[in-house]
Chains A and B, each alone.
Chain A
Amino acid sequence: MTAAKAAAPSPVLPTDNYVTINNISKTFDGFRAVHDVSFSIRKGEIFALLGASGCGKSTLLRMLAGFEAPTAGTILLDGLDLNGLPPYRRPINMMFQSYALFPHMTVEQNIAYGLKQDKLPKHEINDRVQEMLKLVRMETYAKRKPHQLSGGQQQRVALARSLSKGPKLLLLDEPMGALDKKLRTQMQLEVVRIIERLGVTCVMVTHDQEEAMTMAHRIAIMEAGQISQIGTPAEIYEQPNCRYTASFIGSVNLFEGTLDEDQIDHCTIKTADLDVPIYVGHGVTGMTGMPCAFAVRPEKVSMSKTRPEQMHNHVAGIIQDIAYLGSESVYHVRLQSGKMVQVELVNAVRWGSERFAADDAVWIYWEDESGVVLTA
């Protein structure tokens, strides 16, 4: 299961456990929304909880904010036990999905709301509001009401409001959920820029993998109330630890088979889809004969009309469908076993996609290091 190329474990720093979540569970009327989840978040990082709807990510976020009480487990923030603290006593602020701006208050009043609760002197509140407006570049909109703002502007105000009190932890609930696609890409980078400039630790919840990968330093993949993998976007993508993660993030071709040979530097997998066992350039800690899967991403598979010269990792098939996406084309190739494999080729040359047509007989192949073995 462990990979040959796993990153060397870095020494544990005191800032590594800024937020510690210990064996947290949440049950609603017998339904386990979150089940025995433990992990920690580093100071200053943007941490994304990524998963399909109903996976428990929002419940976990609401437990951090204090809107839900955990059924079991503890949450520590910078050494402070959050259990039993109501939301208004936590040094945590949240940017809500679709923002939840107060409709009867101006932009300024929205941002000042949290500061007023702390009974700060008036000039201090004003200074802080101006600072926040400047941070999100909304100075000229201070007197507007939320309904007079566009979606992107509302989001800036919501961000400013959640940052105004200088929270120890910022929570983002589906931060880009209410924006259209074009604005989303732009705001993702802008929000990250603001958060990183302030150095605030941030936990975000999203179902959009692109958003998580763009914004987060580390991602936790959640499935059925549990965390299936935590890692940097690249680790999650290139080194998925289970079939769920591999297929949830991006596209993947999974070849089910059994472990045939297991060495330190390589292993082979017997599968019904290829005549010759798949040769993988890393070892697996497992028993020979155990069931496992080989996962390879579509863009790491090559295709040609002639038989490739390499000994392993090639198989013949027929192109069934072509999805032309402009910058790249995705070919759906049917193998002799009946299995469908996706191959993604970059259209680096103009009209490059016309090399292959539907019903062409082709060979697909990949390098020894292109894929990973999944045992879970």
Chain B
Amino acid sequence: MKSLFNSLRASSSFKGMHWLVTGFPYVWLLLFFVVPFLIVLKISFAEAAIAMPPFTDILSYAEQKLTINLNFGNYAYLFEDALYVDAYLGSLKFAAVSTLLCLLLGYPIAYTIARLQPAVRNVLLMLVVLPSWTSLLIRVYAWVGILKDNGFINNFLMWLGVIDQPLQIMYTPVSVYIGIVYAYLPFMVLPLYSNLVKHDVRLLEAASDLGAKPWMTFLTVTLPLSRAGIIAGAMLVFIPAVGEFVIPELLGGPSVLMIGKILWQEFFNNRDWPVASAVAMVMLAILTVPIVLFHHYQARDLEGRR
């Protein structure tokens, strides 16, 4: 009886622990997401000023009156100047095409790895992840050396005699696609792999047994069952790719218009924090759509598995 009491006491003290454990992520999100978000939101409604910090306060208290000055001009400005709209559309296009390329390249990789012996699988997954152990900046710089006019590819092709003028790859959309696909491919391969490796081989046998040729089995069984993996991988590539700054900055020329670059320029070149904040807010709003879709499908997938 006494031990029962003790265990009850222990469990009630665990209840306190329980709140601590579940509360921690909320505190974390509050401090490092909600608060910065609200600060940026606030700045987006301010006006630029030559001061420190370089924007006006939206709250002012004078003569016993609290005045809230919300400046929607920054947002209006984004839609007046075609540069911003083009940059948003450009980013969405680059992200969407890169996501598609990652899927086309990543699916066969993930599929092949998932069908191999477990020991080989781990080695190959390691190889997929291994490049991420080096800084992204260094890896993107390495691409400059490969893609530039007198870089590895051009020198090699000229040595072969295939071309006699260097190909203009650097500072074009092509180099940006190469960079983004290269950098984000692991984020496509890993969720696809973890989905595909769980597939029941007997389902493929069942399809074959019922008369489906291999490609039909793939289209009617493997592909639909890997939808959750495709969505997860696509989101993990698409969402960060929209706001990508380093890759277009290093590999893309002036013709490559992406919102990450604009954001950087507003912030550091123009020192217009309010417009930069408005740019960030609109980007977040645009990205909310795929994020909500992603969670919707993920929740439905979990539902279906039960």
Which residues does A use to contact B, with CB under 8 Å?
65-67, 86-89, 92-94, 96-98, 100-104, 113-114, 117-118, 145, 147, 161-162, 165
Residues of chain A within 8 A of B220, CB atoms compared = 113
> Which of B205, B210, B211, B213 has the most chain A CB atoms inside 10 A of its CB?
B210
Does B58 touch A at the CB level, under 8 Å? no
Contacts of A97 in B (CB 8 A): 202
Chain B positions 206 through 243: 1 when the CB is less than 8 Å from some CB of chain A, otherwise 0: 11111111001000110011000000000000000000
Most buried by B among A67, A86, A88, A113: A88
Residues of A within 8 A of B212 (CB): 88, 113, 117
With both beta carbons as reference points, the residue of chain A lying nearest to B201 in the complex is identified as A100
**Cβ-closest 7 pairs across A and B:** A114-B210, A117-B211, A100-B202, A100-B206, A87-B208, A88-B211, A88-B208
Do B210 and A161 touch (CB < 8 A)?
Answer: yes
CA distance A328 to B213 in the complex (A): 54
What's the tally of chain B residues with a CB closer than 8 Å to chain A?
20
> Of B200, B205, B305, which contacts A67 at CB under 8 A?
B205
Instruction: Verify B210–A100 contact, CB threshold 8 A.
Output: no
Q: Which residue of the partner chain, among A86, A104, A165, contacts B210 with CB atoms under 8 Å?
A: A165
Q: Are A113 and B202 in contact (CB under 8 A)?
A: no
- Does B203 touch A at the CB level, under 8 Å? yes
A-B contact list, 25 entries, CB within 8 Å? A66-B208, A67-B205, A87-B208, A87-B209, A88-B208, A88-B210, A88-B212, A89-B211, A94-B206, A96-B202, A97-B202, A100-B200, A100-B202, A100-B205, A101-B206, A103-B225, A113-B207, A113-B210, A113-B212, A113-B220, A117-B216, A118-B211, A147-B305, A162-B209, A165-B210
Q: Does B2 contact A (CB under 8 A)?
A: no
B211 touches A104 (CB 8 A): no
Q: A162 to chain B: closest CB distance in Å?
A: 8
Given the complex of chains A and B, what is the CA–CA distance between A101 and B221 in angstroms? Answer: 11
B304 near A96: Cβ-Cβ < 8 Å: no
Query: CA–CA, A114 to B213, complex, Å?
Result: 11
Question: Is B306 engaged at the interface, CB distance under 8 Å to the other chain?
Answer: yes
Q: Which of B62-77 contact A (CB under 8 A)?
A: none
Kindly list 10 other residue pairs between chains A and B, CB separation below 8 angstroms, not including A100-B205, A101-B206.
A66-B208, A66-B209, A93-B210, A96-B206, A100-B203, A113-B207, A113-B212, A118-B211, A145-B304, A165-B210
Interchain nearest-CB distance for B4 vs A (Å): 35
Other-chain contact of A88, B203, B209, B224, B225 (Cβ < 8 Å): B209
A234–B216 Cα gap in the complex (Å)?
45
The chain B residue with its CB closest to the CB of A65 is: B209
